[in-house]
Amino acid sequence: MIDVCLLGTGGMLPLPKRFLTALLVRVEGRSVLIDCGEATQVTLHRTNFSPVTIDHILFTHFHGDHCSGLPGLLMTIANSGRTAPLHLWGLPGLEKVVRGLTVICEYLPFKLVLHELPADQGEGFEAAGLQWQTCPVKHRVPCLAYSAYLPRIGRFDAQRAKALGIPVTYWSRLQNGEEVVVDGQSFQPSDVLGPERRGLRVTYATDCRPSDQLTDLARGSDLLIAEGLYGDPAKQADAKSKGHMVFHEAAHLAKAAGVDDLWLTHYSPAMLDPKEFLPATRNIFPQTQVGFDRKMTTLRFKEEV
């Protein structure tokens, strides 16, 4: 299963009840943070997620509302007792941005490991037990969308395992993807597992315009978290000029990608009540929800629901 928490849903400027952009994704106790707006550590403190479990921080781009919270979060993590390396992922220029933001972090008890991702093409990598894929998106500056996939192994064939003479004590290791040796004979997980089953996918796209590439990235997601800078369709031209989406564009994206659910986020500070525009948006994609700070869900494999 995957735990998802929208730590902040604000764009550009924070509001008294709306923190800036940040999303936390957790699998088996380890967390990945996507974007780190100002005071992310404060909104994180109001959840049951521990900062010390964050192993990776992914940046969509380097506008201030997506990365200015890094020094405060790093110092919070440092005070939580972490000593293991912390991995930071982002576009070319990551090192310069991190160096500037961490000037005030005089001492960190853990190493920062930087990973630059290409701005002109998608790239895959693994982080915290998830398979990640990026997609360049259309914004005023280079920007990435991220999609995380949690694979699921095939069903274990107990009858097949018995027929092969594999003792029960070895079954869990095979289910965990390990090779086992019994009386000198080697057995692979593929010997006793069926075809890989459908896993879980969550996709995050903010500060961007719709595109075919983004639709492909989000295709079949259990949850798409997409920006809606404005809810009013009349503001589409303004959003487009700034490289952003409005509610109905995010809904059309979700519909085209065949996702299960859509959460809206990254609201303009001028839009005080996003729910006002929800009914019209649901006319396009009924499974639309208005995101809010610390909105949480747990994605489960379909048979577990």
- Give me the active site residues, please: 65
The answer to whether 244 is annotated as binding is no
In DSSP terms, 137 is beta-bridged to 143
Furthest-apart CA pair in the chain: how many Å? 72
**Measured distance CA(171)–CA(193) in Å, rounded:** 10
Query: Binding site annotation covers 66?
Result: yes
Q: Is 61 annotated as a binding residue?
A: yes
Which residues participate in the annotated binding site? 61, 63, 65-66, 139, 207, 266
Which residues participate in the annotated binding site for Zn(2+)? 61, 63, 65-66, 139, 207, 266
